[in-house]
C-alpha cells in the first residue's frame, strides 16, 4: 500500500499559525515588577511576522543562528516562534553561565544576531568584543547612551537596533516557508559537560512539535490554562512550554527577571496561575516564603518540578498546606527534555504511602520514550523495581549526536561519542524501572557515594535530611575517607532562627536510616551553591571541602 496519509511536515510555523489564530484570544503576560503587560496571541503572531521580516533584512538566511540573551518575557516567546518558523535556528543563551562559557557556546553555535533584554545589555556588552561572528544586536527595551556605545564599540558589530523601531512598519503577516524539512534544525540548547566544554543539542521542527504535543498530554495542560514558566527559555527548551501553549491554547505568564519567592507568589495570586514549571529550589523557596507571607494560590492546581529530584517533604507540604499537586518529572537537555512524568496510577488511593511512592518517583516513561537499564558488563537489567542500572533512552525527541562543527577538542569529541550506545543515549543516571515503567533514580552516576562495598544515594540522603522540619536545604556529596574510600558529607541550611543543630538533625535521622548511611561529616552553610539553572552545585561543595573552606563537624 503506497497511498496512505498526506506528508504535511511538522513545523514550528504550523504551531505558530495554529496558536495565534485558533487561540488568538489567549495571552502572554509579562511581569513588570509591580504589575504586568499583556499581548494576545494574535498580536504575538503579528510581531513574530514583523521580527522575521526584520531578521531577513538583516541578512538571516538558511539555518543561520539567532541567539537570545533574555529573561522569560513576551519578546522571547515571539523570537522562539519567529526564528524557527522562518527556517533559521534559535539559540537561547544561558545568561547565567560564566562569561568564557557564554563566549564558547555563542561562538561554537555561530550566532549571527543576538537579541538582548535591556536589563542584560550591560553584561552582554562585556562579552560582545569576544564574539566576532555577531554582526547585529537587537535590544528589547530602552538603554542608556553609555550601554549603547559599549554595544556599538566592537568593529564587527554592524549595528545595534531597538526592538520596537526595528519591527515598526514591517508587515504583520509572513509567508512562512512550507518546504522546510521537518527534520531540519529549529533550535538548540547547550548542556554542561561533565568535563570539557558545554555540548550543543540541535532540536528539529519535528522533535519540538512531537515533544510539545506529548508534553501537553503527559502533564495534562489544557485550553485556557495559565502557565507560569519559571524554567528559563534557555534551559532545555523551557521543557516544551512555549510550544505546548500554542498547541493547547493556554496563556503564558512570564516572570521576566522577577524570580524570587515574593514576586512569584504575587504572580500566582494576581494572574490566577493554574499550572507552573521550575526546578525544586524555586518551589522550595516559595514554600518557605508562604509560611510567613500567606497568599491566595487557590487557582493553582499543579506545578511541574524537574531538573533535579523533588524532595518528597516539599511535595507533601504543597499538597497538604496549599492543595497544589507537585508533578515530578525527569528529563535532559538531550531529550528535549521530557522522559518521565510521575502521575500515580488511578488504582492507587490518593494520599496513601503507595501514592507517595509513585508521586515521588522520577516518573513513568511517556509515550514515545523507550528506556532500558544497562548493568555492569552491558547486561540489560529487568524492569522489576529492584535491579539497578544506568538508564539508556531512545525516541523521536532524543538527540542522536551532539552538534559538532569540527572545532571541538579531543576531550570534547571523546565525551560526545561516549554518550551513545547502539543507537541509545546513555543518560548517566542510575536507578530502577518498575514493571509499570516508573523510573526511580538513585543518583547521577557521578554523584553516587561508594562507601566500602555499599553504594549510598546522595539524593536519598538529601531527601531524608530535608524532611526535618528545621532544615531548609541539604546537599550531600561523597568525600574521600581513609577507611571506607568515600563517605557522605552533609551540608545543611537550617531554618533562620531555629535552635536546632546539625547534631540534632543527625540524631533525628539515626532513627530513620540504616547506620551505614548516616553521615559523620556535617557543615552548616548559609545557602547551597546552585548551578546556572538552579540545581545544587555539588562540584562547588566538593571543591570547598577539598580546600578546607567548610567548617566541618564530625560525629560518630
Work out whether 432 is an interface residue with ligand ADP (CB under 6 A).
no
Work out whether 502 is an interface residue with ligand ADP (CB under 6 A).
no
Q: Residues binding ligand ADP: what is the number (CB under 6 A)?
A: 21
Q: Rounded CA gap, 214 and 239, in Å?
A: 11
Stretch that binds ligand ADP, among 141-149, 249-257, 421-429, 503-511 (CB under 6 A): 421-429
Stretch that binds ligand ADP, among 44-52, 59-67, 426-434, 493-501 (CB under 6 A): 426-434
Cell of 89: 535556528
Which is nearer to ligand ADP, 36 or 475 (by Cβ)? 475
Work out whether 306 is an interface residue with ligand ADP (CB under 6 A).
yes
8 A C-beta contact, residue 279 and residue 306: yes
Phi, psi (rounded to 5 degrees) for 307 = 90, -30
- 199 labelled catalytic: no
Of the residues 315, 365, 441, 449, which one makes contact with ligand ADP according to CB under 6 A = 441
- 455 labelled catalytic: yes
CA 556 vs CA 41, 73, 169, 519: distances in Å: 61, 51, 73, 9
Q: Rounded CA gap, 252 and 275, in Å?
A: 10
Work out whether 429 is an interface residue with ligand ADP (CB under 6 A).
yes
- 415 labelled catalytic: no
Partners of 252 in the β-ladder? 28, 227
Nearest alpha carbon to residue 529 among 488, 491, 486:
491
Nearest to ligand ADP by Cβ — which residue? 333
Given 107, 119, 356, 455, the catalytic residue: 455
Work out whether 362 is an interface residue with ligand ADP (CB under 6 A).
yes
Work out whether 41 is an interface residue with ligand ADP (CB under 6 A).
no
Stretch that binds ligand ADP, among 66-74, 124-132, 305-313, 464-472 (CB under 6 A): 305-313
Work out whether 330 is an interface residue with ligand ADP (CB under 6 A).
yes
Work out whether 307 is an interface residue with ligand ADP (CB under 6 A).
yes
Which is nearer to ligand ADP, 66 or 308 (by Cβ)? 308
Q: Rounded CA gap, 194 and 414, in Å?
A: 12
Q: Rounded CA gap, 278 and 296, in Å?
A: 20
Contacts of 399 (CB under 8 A, 6+ apart): 201, 202, 334, 335, 425
Given 178, 320, 450, 527, the catalytic residue: 450
Q: Cβ of residue 298: shortest distance to ligand ADP, in angstroms? A: 26
- 316 labelled catalytic: no
CA angle (463, 469, 475) in 5-degree steps? 35
Q: Cβ of residue 5: shortest distance to ligand ADP, in angstroms? A: 34
Work out whether 428 is an interface residue with ligand ADP (CB under 6 A).
yes
Q: Rounded CA gap, 103 and 136, in Å?
A: 16
Of the residues 479, 535, 538, 550, which one makes contact with ligand ADP according to CB under 6 A = 535
8 A C-beta contact, residue 546 and residue 514: no
Partners of 341 in the β-ladder? 329, 364
Q: Is 465 exposed, middle or buried (0-12, 13-18, 19+ CB in 10 A)?
A: buried
Rounded (10°) CA dihedral 4, 10, 13, 17: 60
Of the residues 20, 281, 427, 491, which one makes contact with ligand ADP according to CB under 6 A = 427
Work out whether 419 is an interface residue with ligand ADP (CB under 6 A).
no
Which residues contact ligand ADP (rule: CB under 6 A)?
Answer: 191-192, 236, 306-309, 328, 330-333, 337, 362, 427-429, 441, 444, 533, 535
Would you please indicate which residues are annotated as catalytic (active-site) residues?
191, 334, 450, 455
Amino acid at each position: 500500500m503506497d497511498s496512505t496519509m498526506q506528508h504535511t511536515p511538522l513545523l514550528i510555523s504550523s504551531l505558530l499559525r495554529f496558536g495565534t489564530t485558533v487561540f488568538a484570544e489567549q495571552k502572554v503576560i509579562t511581569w513588570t515588577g509591580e504589575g504586568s503587560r499583556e499581548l494576545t496571541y494574535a498580536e504575538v503572531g503579528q510581531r513574530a511576522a514583523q521580527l522575521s521580516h526584520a531578521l531577513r533584512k538583516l541578512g538571516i538566511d538558511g539555518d543561520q543562528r539567532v541567539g537570545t540573551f533574555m529573561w522569560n518575557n513576551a519578546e522571547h516567546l515571539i523570537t522562539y516562534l519567529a526564528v524557527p518558523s522562518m527556517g533559521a535556528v534559535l539559540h537561547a543563551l544561558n545568561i547565567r553561565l560564566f562569561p568564557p562559557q557564554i563566549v564558547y557556546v555563542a561562538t561554537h553555535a555561530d550566532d549571527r544576531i543576538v537579541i538582548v533584554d535591556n536589563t542584560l545589555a550591560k553584561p552582554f556588552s562585556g562579552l560582545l568584543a569576544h564574539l566576532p561572528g555577531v554582526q547585529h544586536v537587537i535590544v528589547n527595551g530602552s538603554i542608556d547612551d553609555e550601554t549603547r556605545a559599549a554595544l556599538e564599540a566592537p568593529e564587527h558589530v554592524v549595528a545595534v537596533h531597538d526592538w520596537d523601531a526595528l519591527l515598526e512598519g514591517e508587515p504583520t503577516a509572513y509567508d512562512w516557508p512550507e518546504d522546510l524539512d521537518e527534520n531540519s534544525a529549529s533550535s538548540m540548547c547547550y548542556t554542561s559537560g561533565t568535563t570539557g566544554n558545554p555540548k550543543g543539542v540541535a532540536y528539529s521542527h519535528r522533535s519540538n512539535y512531537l515533544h510539545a504535543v506529548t508534553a501537553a498530554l503527559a502533564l495534562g495542560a489544557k485550553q485556557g490554562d495559565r502557565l507560569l514558566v519559571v524554567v528559563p527559555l534557555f534551559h532545555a527548551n523551557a521543557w516544551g512550554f512555549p510550544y505546548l501553549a500554542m498547541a493547547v491554547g493556554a496563556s503564558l505568564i512570564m516572570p521576566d527577571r522577577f524570580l524570587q519567592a515574593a514576586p512569584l507568589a504575587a504572580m500566582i495570586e494576581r494572574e490566577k496561575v493554574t499550572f507552573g514549571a521550575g526546578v525544586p529550589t524555586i518551589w522550595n523557596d516559595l514554600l518557605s516564603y508562604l509560611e510567613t507571607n500567606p497568599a491566595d494560590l487557590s487557582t493553582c492546581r499543579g506545578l511541574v518540578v524537574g531538573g533535579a529530584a523533588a524532595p518528597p517533604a516539599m511535595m507533601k507540604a504543597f499538597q497538604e498546606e496549599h492543595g497544589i499537586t507537585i508533578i515530578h518529572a525527569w528529563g535532559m537537555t538531550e531529550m528535549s527534555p521530557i522522559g518521565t512524568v510521575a502521575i500515580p496510577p488511578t488504582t492507587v488511593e490518593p494520599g496513601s504511602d503507595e501514592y507517595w511512592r509513585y508521586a515521588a518517583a522520577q516518573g513513568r516513561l511517556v509515550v514515545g520514550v523507550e528506556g532500558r537499564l544497562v548493568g555492569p558488563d552491558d547486561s540489560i537489567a529487568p524492569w522489576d523495581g529492584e535491579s539497578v542500572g544506568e538508564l539508556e533512552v531512545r525516541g523521536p525527541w532524543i538527540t542522536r549526536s551532539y552538534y559538532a562543527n569540527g572545532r571541538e577538542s579531543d576531550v570534547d569529541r571523546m565525551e560526545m561519542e561516549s554518550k551513545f550506545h547502539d543507537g541509545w543515549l546513555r543518560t548517566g543516571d542510575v536507578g530502577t524501572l518498575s514493571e509499570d515503567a516508573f523510573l526511580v533514580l538513585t543518583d547521577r552516576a557521578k554523584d553516587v557515594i561508594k562507601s566500602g562495598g555499599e553504594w549510598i544515594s546522595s539524593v536519598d540522603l538529601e531527601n531524608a535530611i530535608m524532611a526535618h522540619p528545621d532544615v531548609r536545604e541539604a546537599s550531600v556529596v561523597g568525600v574521600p575517607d581513609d577507611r571506607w574510600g568515600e563517605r557522605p558529607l552533609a551540608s545543611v541550611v537550617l531554618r533562620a532562627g531555629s535552635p536546632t543543630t546539625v547534631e540534632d538533625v543527625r540524631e533525628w535521622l539515626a532513627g530513620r536510616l540504616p547506620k551505614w548511611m548516616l553521615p559523620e561529616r556535617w557543615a552548616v552553610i548559609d545557602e547551597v551553591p546552585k548551578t546556572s539553572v538552579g540545581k545544587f552545585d555539588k562540584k562547588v561543595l566538593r571543591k570547598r571541602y577539598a580546600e578546607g573552606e567548610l567548617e566541618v563537624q564530625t560525629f560518630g
